[in-house]
């Protein structure tokens, strides 16, 4: 015979389960049980309720019998308030390593430890940059979810929480605790955040960061909106509980993982400030590579006894602290947008900002990508804007703070002519980047020369931005070939130059004539032809005449090239000035062809072997790899055939790798190459 307590518990569990199933059916369109199973559960609940009429809840799933539920039944007109039985506290912040040392000292004092005593056991976890959530499970069933609110009163978000894939509707536990409230952080992963922002219209506005997007989503009244946005939850603690001690973080994590929550991505044990600081520095390094945002670390003293002994401050426990990372977002004023002209004529807008300190670095300029981005973000001159600095990347303007607009902000119009030369601006098909079409644009001239002389192109020692600027201003140089007819006198006459430095420059120019064809091709600055594409072209097409005569179709067949690159190459060589330039560079003695197979004739690890190179190597450029093989007696050719002995393959190796494997040719990687040549 069943006893009344068991029956009442069963009523609660059945109601919760049926609510869950209704929700999955009407909101998520993804039922988890068959209709027949659903009917069985409903029938069981009806029978139980008929025996205990007092136990029938106002919102019991049985109250809708005979009438179908609709999605609107799950949409609240306002989020109901929820009282937290155990307040949701916040954390004291430590803004860096000195403050964390202070905290450790305070903890030691609080525990009445003296000099010889060891430090108390601590754990370190990520401080997730999202929104706090409380998840209440009764008899293992999720019955209520709530936001933190002011810590005492929050808002009920059960509907939204049920849409979250990492919130199990039922704890995987045969004997779940009768009541347990889990606390964690709701986050939106960065990739999902980017996708969400990309899908938003101008009217909807952009979310500044994943945290805002998660908060905005969690508090939606209609759970169908949240169902479309893949929120995630990381559990980090407990609130209200009966009969279970989870004051050791490792125990908590073990439990929550067993119950069906996603694993904790980071948990370390530590003791003492030095260990904490080492972990802090380690995590700072990987922070930008994580798929979600964290804004610091949370350090917690382990064990109920120690926690009790330390006690609470007004709103935060003394047994925990948030060790914060430097902020990455700030707001400042958008003073102006200026357009930069690159060597290919690409026009890139740059934001000029009121200088602001972001995590220790003063930012006064930020990238804006292209005119479409400016329009999409609806940026206006004079706006307050959110800017962001992450890792090494150039700071970005994230979005305007629309609510601070006072009418004085001016919409921005992208110039219709080049700001450097007034030339026409044109948008090539399929590209959202505008270009200045004037090949003689001074900004392009300078840019092309800088690129030509740069380290990865012809590596002309001593020819930097300042000297190029002078050479162009003095009218001595407009195209790279002009460099090769400079005289010592001309150069020595420039500012801050002397005979010696002029001679050095001319000697460096002489050296550049010996650089291989692929470097020359890269140095020419053809749009879309970088170092690697240049090498691919040279491997396939060994000299300049064949290349200049090739049509788009022929070029697009080269491994690693596509239509866009092919079109760009053809367009480049069609320019009469380019044709002339190549003739002059050739006459000056630069290298415009490549031997079919290069070999040094020396004996070595690769003697007598014909090698093909494909893909990107982790550290070596293809040219470096090739030189190493040649220096060890090998021969490097462009395409794989039955005569090939070895394939050196890097990342993104394509058809050559497949062909080599099909032909049973030995494939080696960079590490093996370096081993064989004895580097
Ligand atoms: S423990 C009593 N652990 O940070 C201590 N909080 O400023 C309760 N947070 O409201 C918090 N990651 O939303 C804890 N691993 C973590 C956390 C974390 C993020 C948030 C939490 C809290 C805020 C405190």
pLDDT at 344 (0 to 100): 86
129-155: pLDDT as tens digits: 999 999 999 999 999 999 999 899 999
Q: Is 124 in the pocket of ligand 1 (CB under 6 A)?
A: no
164-176: pLDDT as tens digits: 999 999 999 999 9
Q: Is 285 exposed, middle or buried (0-12, 13-18, 19+ CB in 10 A)?
A: exposed
Structure-block tokens of residue 513:
């004539």
Counting runs of H as helices and runs of E as strands, what totals does the chain give? 25, 24
> If you measure from the C-alpha of residue 229 to the centroid of ligand 1, how many angstroms do you get, rounded to a whole number?
23
The two beta strands, 231-241 and 361-367, are unpaired
What are the angstrom distances between the C-alpha of 159 and each of 23, 30, 142, 164, 336? 8, 15, 11, 9, 44
Q: Which atom of ligand 1 is nearest to the CA of 132?
A: 13
Of residues 167 and 605, which shows the higher confidence score? 167
Q: Which of 94, 122, 132 to mutate to test the pocket of ligand 1 (most atoms within 8 A of CB)?
A: 132
Topology alike, domains 442-512 and 517-598 = yes
| Residue found under tokens 């960065």 | 190
Beta strands in 292-360 (DSSP E): 294-301, 320-324, 329-341, 347-358
What are the angstrom distances between the C-alpha of 287 and each of 61, 210, 490, 520? 46, 15, 52, 39
Domain edges within the chain: 92-324, 442-512, 517-598, 610-677
> If you measure from the C-alpha of residue 90 to the centroid of ligand 1, how many angstroms do you get, rounded to a whole number?
7
What are the angstrom distances between the C-alpha of 354 and each of 115, 374, 382, 394? 50, 18, 10, 16
CA 521, 584, 454, 565: dihedral to nearest 10 degrees?
A: -30
Structure-block tokens of residue 20:
């869950």
Angle between helices 97-110 and 273-286 (to 10 degrees): 140
- Under a CB-based contact definition with an 8 Å cutoff, are residues 616 and 560 in contact? no
Lowest mean pLDDT across 201-205, 331-335, 454-458: 201-205
Secondary structure of residue 373 in the 3-state scheme: helix
What dotted CATH number matches 610-677? 3.40.50.10190
Select 517-598's CATH number: 2.50.20.10, 1.10.150.20, 1.10.3720.10, 3.40.190.10: 1.10.150.20
Beta strands in 77-162 (DSSP E): 81-83, 93-94, 122-128, 131-138, 141-147, 153-155
Q: Among the options 127, 377, 635, 659, which is catalytic? A: 127
Q: Is 185 in the pocket of ligand 1 (CB under 6 A)?
A: yes
Question: Rg of the chain over CA atoms, in angstroms?
Answer: 34
Closest-CA residue, ligand 1 atom 10, reads: 90
> If you measure from the C-alpha of residue 233 to the centroid of ligand 1, how many angstroms do you get, rounded to a whole number?
13
The two beta strands, 646-649 and 610-614, are parallel
CA dist 9 and 177 (Å) reads: 13
Q: What is the mean pLDDT of residues 55-60?
A: 86
Closest CA to 343 of 272, 438, 252, 279: 438
Active site residue 127: yes
Give the angle subtended at the CA of 634 by the CAs of 629 and 640, to the nearest 5°.
95
Structure-block tokens of residue 489:
């006198």
Secondary structure of residue 309 in the 3-state scheme: helix
Element (H, E) at 468: helix 465-473
Beta bridge partners of 235: 184
Q: Which architecture, in CATH terms, is 442-512? A: Orthogonal Bundle (1.10)
CA dist 239 and 148 (Å) reads: 11
Structure-block tokens of residue 400:
């305007």
> If you measure from the C-alpha of residue 520 to the centroid of ligand 1, how many angstroms do you get, rounded to a whole number?
56
pTM of the predicted structure, to 2 decimals: 0.69
CA dist 516 and 594 (Å) reads: 7
Select 92-324's CATH number: 3.30.470.30, 2.40.160.20, 3.30.420.40, 3.30.465.10: 3.30.470.30
Q: At residue 256, does pLDDT exceed 90?
A: yes
553-596: pLDDT as tens digits: 999 988 788 899 999 999 999 999 899 999 999 999 999 988 76
pLDDT bucket at 521, cuts 50 / 70 / 90: very high
CA 23, 28, 30, 32: dihedral to nearest 10 degrees?
A: -30
């Amino acid at each position: 015979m069943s006893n009344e307590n068991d029956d009442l518990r069963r009523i609660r569990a059945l109601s919760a389960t049926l609510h869950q199933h209704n929700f999955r059916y009407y909101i998520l369109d993804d039922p988890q049980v068959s209709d027949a199973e659903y009917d069985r559960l409903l029938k069981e609940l009806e029978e139980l309720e008929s025996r205990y009429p007092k136990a029938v809840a106002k919102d019991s799933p049985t109250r809708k019998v005979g009438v179908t539920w609709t999605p609107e039944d799950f949409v609240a007109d306002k989020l109901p308030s929820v009282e937290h039985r155990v307040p949701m506290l916040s954390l004291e912040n430590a803004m860096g390593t000195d403050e964390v040392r202070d905290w450790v000292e305070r903890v030691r004092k609080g525990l009445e430890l003296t000099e010889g005593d060891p430090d108390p056991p601590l754990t370190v976890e990520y401080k997730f940059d999202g929104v706090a959530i409380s998840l209440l499970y009764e008899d293992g069933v999720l019955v209520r979810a709530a936001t933190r609110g002011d810590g005492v009163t929050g808002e009920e978000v059960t509907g939204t929480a049920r849409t979250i894939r990492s919130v199990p509707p039922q704890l995987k536990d045969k004997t779940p605790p009768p009541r347990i409230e889990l606390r964690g952080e709701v986050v939106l992963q960065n990739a999902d955040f980017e996708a969400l922002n990309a899908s938003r219209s101008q009217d909807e506005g952009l979310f500044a960061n994943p945290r805002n997007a998660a908060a905005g989503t969690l508090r939606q009244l209609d759970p169908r909106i949240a169902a479309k946005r893949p929120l995630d939850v990381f559990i980090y603690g407990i609130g209200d509980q009966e009969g279970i001690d989870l004051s050791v973080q490792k125990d908590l994590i073990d439990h929550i993982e067993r119950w069906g929550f996603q694993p904790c991505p980071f948990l370390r044990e530590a003791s003492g400030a030095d260990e904490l600081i080492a972990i802090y520095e380690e995590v700072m390094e990987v922070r930008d590579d994580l798929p979600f945002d964290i804004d610091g670390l949370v350090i917690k003293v382990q064990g109920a006894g120690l926690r009790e002994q330390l006690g609470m401050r007004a709103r935060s426990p003394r047994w925990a602290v948030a060790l914060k990372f430097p902020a990455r977002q700030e707001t400042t004023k958008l003073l102006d947008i200026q357009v930069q002209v690159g060597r290919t004529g690409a026009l890139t807008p740059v934001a000029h900002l009121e200088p602001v300190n972001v995590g220790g670095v003063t930012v006064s300029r930020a990238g804006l990508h292209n005119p479409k981005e400016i329009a999409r973000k609806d940026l206006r001159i004079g706006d307050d804007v959110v800017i962001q600095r992450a890792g090494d990347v150039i700071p970005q303007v994230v979005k305007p703070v629309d609510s601070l607009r006072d009418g004085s902000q001016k919409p921005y119009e992208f110039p219709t002519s080049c700001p450097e030369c007034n030339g026409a601006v044109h948008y090539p098909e399929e590209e959202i980047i505008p270009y200045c079409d004037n090949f003689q644009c001074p900004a392009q001239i300078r840019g092309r020369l800088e690129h030509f002389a740069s380290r990865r192109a012809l590596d002309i020692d001593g020819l930097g931005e300042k000297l190029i600027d002078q050479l162009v201003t003095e009218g001595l140089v407009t195209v790279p070939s002009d460099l090769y007819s400079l005289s010592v006198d001309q150069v020595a006459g420039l500012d801050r130059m002397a005979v010696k430095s002029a001679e050095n420059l001319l000697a460096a120019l002489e050296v550049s004539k010996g650089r291989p064809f692929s470097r020359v091709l890269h140095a020419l600055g053809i749009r879309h032809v970088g170092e690697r594409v240049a090498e691919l072209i040279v491997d396939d097409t060994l000299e300049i005449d064949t290349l200049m005569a090739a049509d788009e179709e022929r070029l697009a067949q080269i491994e690693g090239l596509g239509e866009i690159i092919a079109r760009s190459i053809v367009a480049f060589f069609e320019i009469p000035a380019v044709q002339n330039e190549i003739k002059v560079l050739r006459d000056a003695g630069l290298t415009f062809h490549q031997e079919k197979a290069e070999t040094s004739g020396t004996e070595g690890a690769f003697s007598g072997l014909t090698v093909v190179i494909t893909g990107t190597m982790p550290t070596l450029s293809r040219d470096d790899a090739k030189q190493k093989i040649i220096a060890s007696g090998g021969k490097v050719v462009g395409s794989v055939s039955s005569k090939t002995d070895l394939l050196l393959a890097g990342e993104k190796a394509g058809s050559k790798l497949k062909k080599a494997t099909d032909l049973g040719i030995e494939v080696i990687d960079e590490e093996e190459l370096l081993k064989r040549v004895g580097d």
